[in-house]
Amino acid sequence: MENRRYRRKIALLSGAAVLALALLAGAALRAALPAAVTAEGGAEVPLLPEDGEEKLIALTFDDGPRRSTTTALLDGLAERGVHATFFLIGAQVEGSEDVVRRMEAEGHQVGIHTYDHVALTGLNRADFDAQVGRTRNLLEDVLGHRDFLLRPPYGMTDASVKAWAECPIIIWSIDPEDWRDQNTPREVEEVVSQARDGAIVLMHDIFPASVDAALQIVDRLHGQGYLFVTVEELFAARHIQLEAGKSYSNAYP
């Protein structure tokens, strides 16, 4: 187990180092590279922001995986070279282990969103462990490590949640409430209009409309010079050490 944890930490440090080097090299590369490349599907993706400032944003998805919609989202993100963070429901993982392994293999980050999507506040320790610990163990069986962030349902925390989490707690700074009416154009406009460097966007990969919206958001914000990173990469780039039991909703500069 310790060897697996060590390898995981080395991989994360390596990823953060690569991101940091890319950001530091931005100014030097900007003069030598074209402003954009054409990704599969025809979308133009900027290699580097034109204004000289690297703008980072993290797309996060709750409540999956759902094979149909999550697979479509993974396909679209892969076409665009974008990484995201997926906070998974334990009950949804069972039977979709291959989808979860694909997430991590393609550079996405996997986190915990409880086993049954219940509010964690007010639970006793046994019930908390049945939601968070059980999901952590399940994901360890699938991915071979236990380094997972926690997103509590509804963003609700209390002293017990923070004491028992055993990992950093990730909330969000932009929420288009995509569950409300599943209206793709509205979701796109809400996220794009609120986007800022260091933001964390909450969406759900269980709705087809949200998948469409997420990919349109990527295309729109790429055009504004944003780079999409995982939650872990976002905080590493800002030199913020995530601590167990603490809540984070953004990494604003």
Q: Hey, which residues are catalytic here? A: 62, 204
Owner of token pair 């009950």:
91
> What are the angstrom distances between the C-alpha of 7 and each of 54, 85, 143, 145, 241?
29, 20, 12, 9, 19
Token pair belonging to 68: 């149909």
Token pair of 18, please?
A: 């690569």
Q: How far apart are CA 77 and CA 80, in angstroms?
A: 5
* Residues sharing a CB contact under 8 Å with residue 44, sequence separation 6 or more, in sequence order: 36, 37, 38, 222, 223
**Cα separation of 184 and 150, whole Å?**
27
